[in-house]
Structure 1
Amino acid sequence: MYIAMNRFRIAPGKEEEFIEIWRNRDSHLEGVPGFREFHLLQGPSDEDHTLFTSHSVWDSEEAFVNWTKSEAFRKAHANAKPSTDIYLGPPRFEGFKAVL
C-alpha cells in the first residue's frame, strides 16, 4: 500500500472556498488501476493559515507514479488554477509506503 499526500496552507477565512474547489473537482480517479480511496482532510488552524491535506491510497507506489503519467492525471489537473488569495504557497507532497 502507498499513501500520497499533498499539504496545503490555506488563508484564514478561505477554508470553505478551498473545500468547494475539491468538492466540485472531477478527479478522474475512478477506474484508475491501483487507486483505492481519496480523502480531503482539514487540520489545525493557526493565525496565518489552516492546514489541509489531500490523502489518496494506492495499491503501490508504482500505481501512483503510473497515474501521474496518465491521461486521467492530465484531465484531473487541466483546470487547476490556484487562486493566490486562497493558497499560501504551493502544496507540499509527501509519499508513504506501508511497512507494517
Structure 2
Amino acid sequence: MFIAMNRFMVVEGSEEAFEEVWKNRDSSLKEMPGFVEFRLLRGPSNAEEGYTLYASHTIWRSREDFVAWTKSENFRDAHKNAGQNKGLYKGPPVFEGFSVVEGA
C-alpha cells in the first residue's frame, strides 16, 4: 500500500474558497486502478505566519498505481486549473509519499 500526501499552506481567510475548489473538482480518482481512498484534511492555523495547514491524503494499492495516476489524462484534467488558485496558497504544495510498513 502507498499513501500520497500534499501539504498546503492556505492563506488565512481563504479556507472556505480552498475547500470549495476541492469539493467541486472532478478528479476521477475512483476510475483509476489501485485507488483506495481520498481525504482532504484541515490542520491547525498558524496566525503568526497567516495560514491554515491542509493535506490531501490518498491511499493506493501500490506506489506503481499512484505513479500511473500522475501520468494519466485524468491527472492532467484534475490539475489543469490549479494555477488559477495561486492566491489561496503561501507557497507551493509539499508532496510526501509513504510505503505502508504495517497497518491494521
TM-score under structure 1 length normalisation: 0.95
2: CA distance between counterparts of 1:32 and 1:85?
Answer: 30
Match for 1:67: what amino acid?
W
Match of 1:28?
Answer: 28
Match of 1:84?
Answer: 86
More helix by share: 2
Alignment length (residue pairs)? 100
Q: Does 1:66 align with 2:77?
A: no
Q: How far off its partner does 1:82 sit? A: 4.3
SS where residue 7 of structure 2 aligns? strand
Unaligned runs of 5+ in 2: none
2: CA distance between counterparts of 1:81 and 1:68?
Answer: 17
2: CA distance between counterparts of 1:51 and 1:21?
Answer: 16
Deviations 1:32-86 (A, max 9, x none): 0000110000000011110000000000001000111111111111222243331
Unaligned runs of 5+ in 1: none
Of 81-90 and 60-69, the range deviating more from structure 2: 81-90
